[in-house]
Structure 1
Amino acid sequence: MPLTDAPAKARLLYEARRDRTAIPPFTDADPTLGMADGYAVQSELTKLLVADGEEIVGYKVGLTSKPMQKMIGVDSPDFGPVFASTVYRDGDSIPLSRFIQPKIEAEIVFVLGERLEGPGVSLTQAARAVAGVAASVEIVDSRFADWRIKLADTVADLASNGAVATSSRLVPLADVDPRLIGMTLTRNGHLVDTGAGAAALGDPVAVVAWLANTLGANGIAMEPGHLVMTGALHAAVPMAAGDVWRADFDRLGPVTLRVVEGTTEETK
């Protein structure tokens, strides 16, 4: 298969997601693949999943912190869709069996109250479109073996999306400064890491503006109710069955999830 064959690469990722089996990174065979190649595959993969009945309910933005950008070797974020089937609520149990090699990240999530379409969206316009801010934890997963990913790989793989759990409490943006929101992450009651909102592009609202402008360049708008995951506030941590994770956010409150061995059908 040609290395640039986006539909064929998308089919490989589609099958890896379906079978929960990791595949070799695309950049093993062609190290020259870049961000544009990744998004071409992502577009084809998204079409396959939507055809299966998936519904896009928002977007996740990754690589928003300087350490993560340095690790991957980029100077800008990436994004991928969030599907309705991957959204959980505070206190839910999440089955380990739906992932391949999951890790957990605590993030600030925005919920849009207005349609937002770039390009040309300013920080002020992005803030105006936000209905509220909530606590969340994202489960990232990779369909590529051993997380041996480069930029093209993670972009193709829907920005390494897995699932997300969000709190039910939505705080008006006018009541908080997202840059100053502190966070602690615990596993089974033991502190794992800490973070602050400013880790995400210096201001999580800037993530919303960046996403709106990036999507807008491709003729895509964000709609009311859409989630915007703004990126990890700390290094991703591997998770295992039996874990109880809790992220406590200043002003936003906590969000908790339990990791179980069960199947998706048993818990969702």
Structure 2
Amino acid sequence: MDYEEVAKKLLKSEANKVPIGQLTEEYSDMTIEDAYHIQLAGINIKLSQGHKIIGKKIGLTSRGMQKLLGVNEPDYGHLLDNMLVLEGDTLDRRELIAPKVEGELAFILNETLKGPGVTIADVYRATEGIVPAFEIVDSRIKDWKIKLADTIADNGSSARLVLGSKMIPIKNLDLKLIGMMFEKNGQMVSSGVGAEVLGNPAAAVAWLANKLGTFDIALEKGEIVLAGAFTAAEKAEEGDIFTVSFNGLGSVSVKFV
């Protein structure tokens, strides 16, 4: 399998806003390892175009989603500088194919984390603070008909991240007990707690540091890590306004235009 060739198909889809067929049907022997190689090939192409990695995202952190896709661990993707949307900015729906919105906590690192052996305590020590955030996911695979290898190859189906403007020190927070309320157009659509994210969002960050360590990759000082969704994603259309609020951490909003 030519990893770069497959990566270019995904990048063309992203650029043209035209989805492609399911990769795992076209390449029936594609493994999870192949999928991560495709993801990295795509990221390397973007880096060669002048983009910069600003962090990582973790997906499939809930047991429900893992069961749905028949897996027993999360996945991850890369966050690039052109994916960042600041609070207060609008998001052009036409830039995306079939976006969905997830409420998450973003970890801002002030130390490098590299596995193996990274613990929740290490994550607390290495984190400058926590910021309310959205991840906007978008599949370059038509109609979101994906298996695990499809979403991994497609950079974890990641498209945008929206960061709140308030960062809270992590030191005294019990992340597994933090509640989240998710609103769409002024109506609450879901709520959840940090324990939905691998039992503790910090445990998701530790998992990622250890997973990346097997590829000799670190979570670098200054990077943003999206730890995973508290609740199911919500579809986004032009005119939709989303707000996510976390107990004691504040809120963040985004509007699609």
| TM-score scaled by length of structure 2 | 0.97
How large is the Cα RMSD of the aligned pairs?
1.0
Other-structure match for 2:227 = 230
Aligned-pair distance for 1:228? Answer: 0.6
Q: 1 CA distance for matches of 2:64 and 2:186?
A: 26
Kept in 2, the 8 Å contact 1:14–1:48? The answer is: no
Q: 2 CA distance for matches of 1:159 and 1:184?
A: 24
Q: 2 CA distance for matches of 1:232 and 1:72?
A: 16
SS of the residue 1:173 aligns to: coil
Aligned counterpart for 1:215 among listed residues 212, 236, 240: 212
Other-structure match for 2:48 = 51
Q: 1 CA distance for matches of 2:106 and 2:12?
A: 29
Aligned counterpart for 1:183 among listed residues 180, 184, 190: 180
* Counterpart residue identity of residue 56, structure 2: Y
Gaps of at least 5 residues in structure 1 are: 261-268
SS of the residue 2:73 aligns to: coil
* Count of matched residue positions in the alignment of Structure 1 and Structure 2: 257
Other-structure match for 1:94 = 91
Q: 2 CA distance for matches of 1:169 and 1:224?
A: 19
1:127-165 CA distance string (max 9 Å, x none):
110111111111000000000000110000000001011
Equivalence map 1:60-139=2 (5 Å): 60-139=57-136
Q: Which moved more, 1:171-180 or 1:98-107?
A: 171-180
* Counterpart residue identity of residue 132, structure 1: G
Other-structure match for 2:37 = 40
Q: 2 CA distance for matches of 1:52 and 1:21?
A: 21
Q: 2 CA distance for matches of 1:71 and 1:56?
A: 30
Aligned counterpart for 1:170 among listed residues 167, 191, 194: 167
Q: 1 CA distance for matches of 2:119 and 2:183?
A: 35
Gaps of at least 5 residues in structure 2 are: none
SS of the residue 2:135 aligns to: strand
* Counterpart residue identity of residue 124, structure 2: A
Aligned-pair distance for 1:90? Answer: 1.9
SS of the residue 2:171 aligns to: helix
Say if 2:251 is the partner of 1:248. Answer: no
| TM-score scaled by length of structure 1 | 0.94
Aligned-pair distance for 1:182? Answer: 0.5
SS of the residue 1:174 aligns to: coil
Moved over 4 A (4+): none
Other-structure match for 1:17 = 14
Equivalence map 1:147-166=2 (5 Å): 147-166=144-163
* Counterpart residue identity of residue 124, structure 1: A
